[in-house]
Amino acid sequence: MDLTTTFMGPYCTLLLAQMGADVVKVEAPAGDVLRYVGDERGTGMGPVFLNANRGKRSIALDLKRPEGRRALLRLVGRADVFVHNMRPEAVTRLGLHAEDVHAANPHTVYCVVRGFSSAGPYRDKAAYDDVIQASSGLAAVQGGPDGPTYIRTPVADKATGLMAVGAIAAALYRRERTGRGLAIEVPMLETMVAFTLLDQQGGYVFDPPRGPAGYARLNSPYRRPYRTADGHVGVMVYTDPQWRAFFELVGRPELAADPRFRTITARTLHVDELYRLLEEELRKRPTAEWLAAFDARGIAAMPVLTVPDLFSDEHLRATGMFEDVVHPSEGPLRFARFPVDFSGAAPVDLRPAPRLGEHGPEILAELGYVPEEIRALGLTDGHAPDVTLRHREDV
């Protein structure tokens, strides 16, 4: 059961759907607000929603109404996993704490993905990806002379969604041994602090600190995709043999014996000088020539691709990375497939992202509701009321 909205929770449950879970997306009558982001046709089926909610069935329930909450708890009775990202006051108001869910089904794994741990003073703060990138140290690490900056993808949402998938899998494994479902809390801030500190803690690993925070190579202002004579490449020269090969390639073999560059410890201290050298040298030859030279020497390098370039990349096409589907209301669509291959397992055939409330009558019928009860909930044709205009205004 997926009671999440926007990015973080839907990404978690998308991954679960791609691994074979039957995901029931429980939406308010107004629907997940992400439906209306980029929704130029006014259908409530914006591009990110279409991507993040594949493989799910939608039911629209008004949980403020007793009959809506009763239907939800009947769904809980069949649920292996219950995921939400509601703020604490909403959970209390609706009576959907872990103990409430476990009273309906003690075997359900209850997972809340939220901005901040409930153990700290930030517990009631609103949280979105931007503020978590800022408060976790990530924006400062990404920044430069002009100040902190954000990564141009909701990385905090996605990383926390991934963390939730792992936690849910572990809880399901434990349930197989104990028979009881756990309550899990996956906070964004704490997830991204751990994510950032893995490489950026530096001297602060020691107490008291033995040096500054950060990782010199990653934080070098010269670490970037480099301009070639006709484009850009991403290149990573790392090991001793790779640097010796690069120095020979650019006609500077003597640099391999330079004390500044002879070992990885020394190179880390002088990484700006090395990356300036890369920047200077790569401008001298075209991209194809550099890629061939780097491949021949075992140096990792790839051209810089734009998002449109990805769809024509020969490797991604050969691995079947993209799947074409026809959505019943939105027409032909293209998506990236689940990137993990399970040996011997049949591929999961994902249903298209659902229209708001599309599967409500079907889901309630599975619970034993008769047509009169389904009509009493206002679910007669699989569609919730049209609230598109109000939501477009909100966004």
Mind telling me the catalytic residues? Answer: 157
CATH code at 49? 3.40.50.10540
Q: What is the mean pLDDT of residues 211-221?
A: 93
SS3 (DSSP) at 150: coil
Q: How confident is the model at residue 392 (pLDDT cuts 50, 70, 90)?
A: very low
What are 2's strand-pairing partners?
25, 83
CATH number at residue 294: 3.30.1540.10
The pLDDT value given to residue 347: 83
Q: Based on the fold, state whether residues 167 and 243 are members of the same structural domain.
A: no
How much is the pLDDT for 376?
A: 85
3-class DSSP state for residue 149? coil
User: Are 79 and 136 members of one domain?
Assistant: yes
Which residues constitute the domain of residue 255?
Answer: 226-303
In a domain, 218, yes or no: no
- Same domain? For 248 and 173 the reply is no
The answer on pLDDT for 383 being more than 80 is no
Both 299 and 322 in a single domain?
no
- pLDDT band of residue 390 (cuts 50, 70, 90) is very low
In terms of domains, do 35 and 171 share one?
yes
pLDDT at position 394: 34
In this predicted structure, the answer to whether residue 386 has a pLDDT above a threshold of 60 is no
Residue 391: which pLDDT band, with cuts at 50, 70 and 90? very low
The CB density around residue 31, as the number of other CB atoms within 10 Å, is: 23
Match 């690993």 to its residue by tokens: 205
Q: Residue range 236-241: average pLDDT?
A: 96
Sort strands 232-236 and 226-227 into parallel, antiparallel or unpaired: antiparallel
Q: Specify the amino acid at residue 324.
A: D
In tens, the pLDDT along 220-232 reads 999 999 999 999 9
CA 346 vs CA 21, 166, 341, 353, 360: distances in Å: 14, 22, 10, 21, 28
> Same domain for 386 and 325?
yes
CA distance 166 to 117: 18
User: Is the domain of 176 the same as that of 255?
Assistant: no
Of 303, 327, 359, the domain-final residue? 303
Same domain, 162 and 130: yes
Counting runs of H as helices and runs of E as strands, what totals does the chain give? 19, 11
Answer whether residue 250 is part of any domain: yes
Strand partners, 59: 26
For residues 316-343, average pLDDT: 95
Cα-Cα-Cα-Cα dihedral sign, residues 378, 379, 380, 385: positive
Answer yes or no: do 126 and 254 share one domain.
no
DSSP for 275-314, written as a single string:
HHHHHHHHTTS-HHHHHHHHHHTT-EEEE---HHHHTT-H
Residue 317: the pLDDT is: 97
- Indicate the number of domains in the chain: 2
Predicted confidence at residue 384, as pLDDT, reads 43
Model pLDDT, residue 380: 53
- Which of 78-82, 203-207, 237-241, 377-381 is least confident? 377-381
- Residue 199: pLDDT over 50: yes
Residue 318 has pLDDT above 90, yes or no: yes
For 190, the 3-state DSSP assignment is: helix
User: If you average pLDDT over residues 233-256, what whole number do you get?
Assistant: 97
252-293: pLDDT as tens digits:
999 999 999 999 999 999 999 999 999 999 999 999 999 999
Residues 169, 241, single domain; the answer is no
Kindly report the average pLDDT of the chain as a whole number: 93
What's the pTM value of the predicted model, to 2 decimals? 0.91
- Examine the domain organization and report whether 247 and 163 are in the same domain: no
Query: Tokens representing 112?
Result: 């809340």
Judge if 184 and 324 occupy the same domain. yes
